[in-house]
Structure 1
Amino acid sequence: MMTLKVNGHDHQIDADPDTPLLYVLRDDIKLNAAKFGCGLGQCGACTVIVDGKAVLSCVTPLLLLEGKQVTTLEGLGTIDAPAPIQRAFMEEQAAQCGYCIAGMMMRAQALLQKNPKPTDAQIRAELEPHLCRCGTHMRILRAVHRAARLMDTAELSSTTQAIVHGSAP
């Protein structure tokens, strides 16, 4: 039995330590954004964030996750209050079939957390591991840039509110 922290909540998992994270997310915790694509870590459909880094959950065994924070697309926002990355992908209509998009959003989220103003080349390099046949690659690029702007605006807004309410650092 191990405790797995996913989207800020502890889950008691009774599974073999070699079980891939993807199976636990989908079968035990009932989170379905991360998809089973190839099962070999070659397509990116299963990408989640572990301690700030994009990780392929189909090839990441549970034994490597003790004490780490796992974030899935469900943990970023909701239908009523989408996270900037989710909102940007919707506004740019950056998906067709949608199968690979959750993984792309998670990898883009990890990129924006470490580099809030990436260049086109940096976004392309970060998203390279993702296989996608939809043909919306330019929309995806625009969505990542839009998310960066939305995140920057949200950060500025909270700083301004903190100053107004006298709680700024």
Structure 2
Amino acid sequence: MNFELIDIRKVDSTGNFKLNEDYILSYDHSDGWSERLLSLGIYIDLIFECKIVISFRRKNFENFEKQFECEIPSEIKNIISEIINLDPLTLKKHYADTFMEDMNRQHYAINHSGKSHNIGIGTLLKRPQPENPSEELFITLIDLFEKWREVIYQDCLKNII
């Protein structure tokens, strides 16, 4: 399975991602400078079909890259549905205690009411305290994506021939 990210999202004039109208969420993760150099992208469309692109470095320094489709965990699907049904969606552009070069970072783009909301996640030393219902759901989504990201990575490690 091969897909092009340009068909899912484009960078707009402000430097933010503009999702294709057929997609509701994109998630990008980078470990930054780490032993595994994990990079993961998850792209979810309107009917909750999910495309994933993953790359990382194996212990023998060989690169692993793969694109595939998979099922979305029901908990994540439910939270995304709740976020999409909120009116209004009130999220900050950044959640971080600090930003540092080459550190773990995440980026979400969420299509909501015809607009792509871009949210960056930097280094969080503690779990953010939600200030509204949108943030409460979003912070839960962050936690779920972190767990799912590790499941995807471990599954890929197990399936390397």
TM-score by length of 2: 0.37
Instruction: Give the number of the structure whose alpha-carbon radius of gyration is greater.
Output: 1
